[in-house]
Structure 1
Amino acid sequence: MTQLTFTEKIEGNVARSVNPLGLQRMMAEQIAAVAQKPHYTGAKHALVLGGSSSYGLASRITAAFGMGAATLSVGYERPPRPDFLGTAGWWNQRFFKQQAAQAGLVANNLNADVFLPQTKQEVIQFIRNRFGGQLDLLVYSIAAPKRKNPDNPAEAWRSVIKPLGNPVTDYTVDLEHQRLVKTTLEPASVAEVAATNHVMGGEDWELWVDALQAAGVLAPNFKTILFSYEGPRVTAPIYHDGTLGQAKRAAEASAHKIQAKLAKTGGEALISVNRSVTTKASVVIPGFSRYCMALYQVEQQRGGHEQPVAHIDRLFRDMVYGTKRVVDGRGRLRPDAAELSPAVQGAVEDLLPQLTPDHFSTTMPGYQQFRREFRQLNGFDVPGVPDTMDHDAFTQLATD
């Protein structure tokens, strides 16, 4: 029998391989973490844009296994081929659908570009045919590098992670070589700021709600939510005060426009400012991984470390559909309140001076936690999971 070996490969901070068996185990564990809690009344039919990883996947898990919702996830992922094992997101979509079916839940995946008008129309037809023409919840969880201009498909906007006004220098982790390195980013141009707003702001979110509303498929009391990020003072120059922060504020402006359109039917457009977590995107933001390492170490000492599924389950259970909303002065939900508390941030700022190239150690608990979470995004470092598999069994796993 031919055996496949799942070998981890990290280039810089980009994972180039997957272990589907590890992803399958991680999916089961995340689902169990939600399913073991009491069910609550929420959405019956949920659409998750970007439901293949991180907060989008966590939203789908809690909608299905916390509320009992039928779900549709839209995202663009690459399936396996003879010379490629497939992306982690493709396997996540597959394993979610399998485990939802075993639980008697409706779950469908659409592998498509979320930004395209034809994708919106395909989803509307699905809602009419499979969701009884009623959508209760839209989660917008897209982190994309580019978006085509819907009015001019020949033009593509590209998002950038850059500061504004002045260069920013910070330390960031190099996961391939397990070290901290100094990185300097030059400020964004006016055109780059505008392009990032087009990609990461709320324009496409508005287009989705407009299309769904025009098609008459929004249920009474429909809710839609977009995930934002505020972050601490130490990451502000590259995030809150940079291109990404600008885009998040543009998304918040979109929330107000959407809310005005939904008000007559009792709908809600919500912004949730989420906590810092390990994602494939976050590791390429200079300084962010170093902050996460310090934060995770403090949280290990104090308690309170949440990974995406626990964070989003709490958000939906307590704040979106519950009675324990924590809202800031701008009307945004704030499940990140514990992370940004003065006590936690004070301890993090005390620890950060020790996280320099000269003092960095791979034995630091915060680094170990960060690296483990990053590796598990692609199915590696999952206890009890083998790194080999019979080729025929792999083929069956990918086609069942």
Structure 2
Amino acid sequence: MIIKPKFRGFICTTAHPEGCAYNVKEQIAYVKSQGKVKGPRNVLVIGASTGYGLASRIVATFGAGAKTIGVFFEKEASGSRTATAGWYNTAAFEQAAREEGHYAVSINGDAFSDEIKQQTIERIRQDLGEIDLVVYSLASPKRVHPETGELFSSVIKPIGQAYTNKTVDFHSAEVTEVTIEPATEQEIEHTIAVMGGDDWERWMKALQDAGVLAEGVVTVAYSYIGPQITHSIYREGTIGRAKDDLEATAEKLTHLLEGVAGQAYVSVNKALVTQSSSAIPVVPLYISLLFKVMKEKGLHEGTIEQMYRLFAQRLYTGSASDLSLDDRNRIRIDDWEMKEEVQEEVAKLWNQVETDNIRDISDIDAFRQDFFRLFGFEFPQINYDEEVDVQRSIPSLAE
């Protein structure tokens, strides 16, 4: 069939297998063009099919030569319905990994569940014995608690009072004003339950109890801080409360891992176009301005460049001082974004931006392009008028 993007707002309901495969191959090519990473041997990536999780798996495999197990929840193609982008990404990743002799196994299911945790542990025992890096990069709007069965749903809202600021429809490039009402206490609690550190802690406890964590194991989860412009809706809002909880969990996990001399970190990453960031009011406008400034200054990075730098220049340099931890023991891989000269320029443009000038002073078209590339579209190398088979198999899931 011929596959075209079908979208509503920040949700794209189709994905292109050839475009997704091209995206993965480009990320692999970038990693292989850089120096080898003296990194981990056996890696578990929780949330491994898109974004930072996928990039982490690619760097671990093609940069460090590691064996990887990836956990995610994706859907394969059915009838005329395409598979999800994460399914196509993983199919392309596993094929490329196996062609070069790398071990790569995937587990598809609810990563919040005890069942998937146990299935993963059994696979580690069977194939690897132990894990020396655990990447936690899970992004989901909902979570069913594995013990109580309670369904939690996260929200993107300010806390305490309504918030009003500029935002943009990245499809039409129309700049408008948005007002978001404050979250209730229950909404705050639910967002923390979905996006905080509880599930990360449950994963690490399960792995530790099973005896599959290597001596000196490292675990890292991903977070974001961002500029003052977005704080009310992000860092000081419901998501920020969840990220505070995630970051507090890192300290608890470091104590938990003392018996194997392990260490838990949170890496604060750069703002990038993801399905999550596309959904947050105000943030797409900020990212569009940020990209313009960072590209002009030669500082722009995509997902794969960020993760390569995290592995090669922070986690696996052999020197603790290279981690560049802040006063809350977080790795700051957002350091280029938060440079004073970058933020000053973005703030100046923020005050100026409106519908009439947005294409002149921002990179809104690149934001929109990056959004569709998440789903395999808008790569000039792909002929989107050609018929394509929507079926793709993930080798390890087909075995």
TM-score, normalised relative to structure 2? 0.95
Q: How does 1:170-185 map to 2 (within 5 A)?
A: 170-185=165-180
Match in the other structure for 1:215? 210
| Equivalent-residue separation in structure 2 for 1:64 and 1:166 (angstroms) | 46
| Equivalent-residue separation in structure 1 for 2:135 and 2:228 (angstroms) | 28
Q: How does 1:349-360 map to 2 (within 5 A)?
A: 349-360=347-358
Q: What's the % identity of the aligned pairs?
A: 38
Q: How does 1:115-194 map to 2 (within 5 A)?
A: 115-131=112-128, 133-153=129-149, 155-194=150-189
Query: CA 1:95/1:375 → structure 2, altered by over 3 Å: closer, same or farther?
Result: same
> Could you tell me which of 261, 277, 282 is aligned with 1:282?
277
Matched position secondary structure for 1:95:
helix
What displacement does 1:13 show? 2.2
Query: Does residue 326 of the first structure (1) align with residue 324 of the second (2)?
Result: yes
Contact 2:113-2:145 within 8 A present in 1 as well: no
Query: Does residue 382 of the first structure (1) align with residue 379 of the second (2)?
Result: yes
Query: Does residue 371 of the first structure (1) align with residue 394 of the second (2)?
Result: no
What displacement does 1:150 show? 1.9
Query: Does residue 310 of the first structure (1) align with residue 305 of the second (2)?
Result: yes
What displacement does 1:399 show? 7.3
Matched position secondary structure for 1:72:
strand
Contact 2:173-2:355 within 8 A present in 1 as well: no
> Could you tell me which of 241, 246, 249 is aligned with 1:246?
241
Contact 2:216-2:262 within 8 A present in 1 as well: yes
Match in the other structure for 1:6? 3
| Equivalent-residue separation in structure 2 for 1:364 and 1:377 (angstroms) | 24
Query: CA 1:38/1:399 → structure 2, altered by over 3 Å: closer, same or farther?
Result: closer
> Could you tell me which of 43, 48, 57 is aligned with 1:51?
48
Match in the other structure for 2:18? 21
| Equivalent-residue separation in structure 1 for 2:379 and 2:218 (angstroms) | 35
Contact 2:14-2:375 within 8 A present in 1 as well: yes
Matched position secondary structure for 1:226:
strand
Match in the other structure for 1:103? 100
Contact 2:173-2:358 within 8 A present in 1 as well: no
What displacement does 1:365 show? 5.2
What displacement does 1:360 show? 3.0
Deviations 1:248-270 (A, max 9, x none): 11011111111001123211101
> Could you tell me which of 32, 36, 43 is aligned with 1:35?
32
Deviates more, 1:379-388 or 1:330-339: 379-388
Deviations 1:86-143 (A, max 9, x none): 1101101111000000111011111100000011100000000111x11111100011
| Equivalent-residue separation in structure 1 for 2:394 and 2:371 (angstroms) | 27
| Equivalent-residue separation in structure 2 for 1:144 and 1:336 (angstroms) | 22
| Equivalent-residue separation in structure 1 for 2:349 and 2:123 (angstroms) | 50
What displacement does 1:146 show? 0.9
What displacement does 1:358 show? 4.5
Matched position secondary structure for 1:5:
coil
| Equivalent-residue separation in structure 1 for 2:277 and 2:250 (angstroms) | 24
Contact 1:13-1:174 within 8 A present in 2 as well: no
Match in the other structure for 1:80? 77
Deviations 1:255-294 (A, max 9, x none): 1111001123211101111110000110110110000011
| Equivalent-residue separation in structure 1 for 2:251 and 2:295 (angstroms) | 37
Query: Does residue 198 of the first structure (1) align with residue 193 of the second (2)?
Result: yes
Contact 1:376-1:382 within 8 A present in 2 as well: yes
| Equivalent-residue separation in structure 2 for 1:356 and 1:285 (angstroms) | 19
Contact 1:13-1:175 within 8 A present in 2 as well: no
Contact 1:34-1:65 within 8 A present in 2 as well: yes
Q: What one-letter code is carried by the residue in structure 2 that aligns with 1:348? A: V
TM-score, normalised relative to structure 1? 0.95
Match in the other structure for 2:292? 297
What displacement does 1:373 show? 1.0
Matched position secondary structure for 1:387:
coil
Contact 1:10-1:176 within 8 A present in 2 as well: no
Deviations 1:313-345 (A, max 9, x none): 100111111132221111110011111111100
| Equivalent-residue separation in structure 1 for 2:7 and 2:358 (angstroms) | 20
What displacement does 1:211 show? 0.4
Contact 2:353-2:361 within 8 A present in 1 as well: no
Match in the other structure for 2:337? 339
| Equivalent-residue separation in structure 2 for 1:390 and 1:351 (angstroms) | 43
Runs of 5+ consecutive residues of structure 2 not aligned to the other structure? none
* Count of aligned residue pairs for this structure pair: 392
Q: What one-letter code is carried by the residue in structure 2 that aligns with 1:350? A: K
Query: Does residue 61 of the first structure (1) align with residue 58 of the second (2)?
Result: yes
Contact 2:253-2:264 within 8 A present in 1 as well: yes
| Equivalent-residue separation in structure 2 for 1:215 and 1:347 (angstroms) | 50
Deviates more, 1:345-354 or 1:289-298: 345-354
> Could you tell me which of 222, 237, 254 is aligned with 1:259?
254
| Equivalent-residue separation in structure 1 for 2:164 and 2:141 (angstroms) | 22
| Equivalent-residue separation in structure 2 for 1:202 and 1:46 (angstroms) | 20
